[in-house]
Amino acid sequence: MSLLEIESLDVRYGDFQALFGVSLAVAENAALALVGANGAGKTTLLRTVAGAHPPAGGRIRFDGADITAMPPHQRVRVGIALVPEGRRLFASLTAEENIRVGAIQAGPHAWSLPRLYEVFPLIARCRHRRAGLLSGGEQQAVAIARALASGPRLLLLDEISLGLAPAVVDALYDTLAELRAAGTALVLVEQDLDRAQGACQDLVCLLEGRVVLAAPAGAVARADVVAAYFGTAS
């Protein structure tokens, strides 16, 4: 059984429809890469799963239970955590306070502060500094730690490599591999196709709010993904 199942999801912002009948599934402990051009609906999809937008149609199931109408804090409680696009840290709070806010709905598998500092030595060094003053890499690490503090079974990561130096991104992806090993399922929005294919076994491409390609990441040819990405496939 899949951990996350999305069935023909429609999401609208007023008159504008962002997602059209999107369906996908993520198995327990699996990693799914979500790719697509800007405006394809990737962020909307992650935010809808996290509970930010009530869908206009379709269903979301998590661990077998229908969570379509569940409020966001309960979704965190059952094990869904979002690392939002642009990090979105609470700027006036320190790094550690940000993480502790993330632990408000901590479930049984919550990561403790010492364990998080072990995985992210970067944060341990700046834990008492205001989040607004941290470097981009530090901020991204705190954003991931804040999500892990709730003990998620499914981690939704929205463009974590945006604006970061390649070495920092390498370190973050090493951490993601550790998370996978610890049993956390991932949905990863990533612009860098090589990284996405390297980190995930499944790949879904969105185009203008619709799924245009869903395949095992290792088996799909780069040209096919590019064609799906730009909508030039026949």
The site for other proteins (CB under 8 A) is made up of 47, 50-52, 72-73, 76-77, 81-82, 84, 86-88, 90-93, 97-98, 100-102, 104-105, 130, 132, 146-147, 150, 163
Q: Please, what is the minimum distance in Å from the beta carbon of residue 87 to other proteins?
A: 7
> What CA–CA distance (Å, rounded) separates 195 from 160?
11
Q: Please, what is the minimum distance in Å from the beta carbon of residue 224 to other proteins?
A: 31
> What CA–CA distance (Å, rounded) separates 122 from 192?
24
Beta-strand relationship, 154-158 and 80-83: parallel
Q: Please, what is the minimum distance in Å from the beta carbon of residue 10 to other proteins?
A: 21
Do residues 208 and 40 lie in contact, with contact meaning Cβ atoms separated by under 8 Å?
A: yes
Beta-strand relationship, 2-13 and 57-62: antiparallel
Q: Please, what is the minimum distance in Å from the beta carbon of residue 220 to other proteins?
A: 30
Closest CB to other proteins among residues 86, 218? 86
Closest CB to other proteins among residues 191, 201? 191
Closest CB to other proteins among residues 90, 210? 90
Closest CB to other proteins among residues 61, 130? 130
Q: Please, what is the minimum distance in Å from the beta carbon of residue 134 to other proteins?
A: 12
Closest CB to other proteins among residues 41, 79? 79
Residues 6+ apart with CB under 8 A from 120: 141, 142, 144, 145, 175
Q: Please, what is the minimum distance in Å from the beta carbon of residue 158 to other proteins?
A: 11
Closest CB to other proteins among residues 78, 226? 78
DSSP 111: P
Rg of the chain, C-alpha, whole Å: 17
Show the tokens assigned to 16: 């504008």
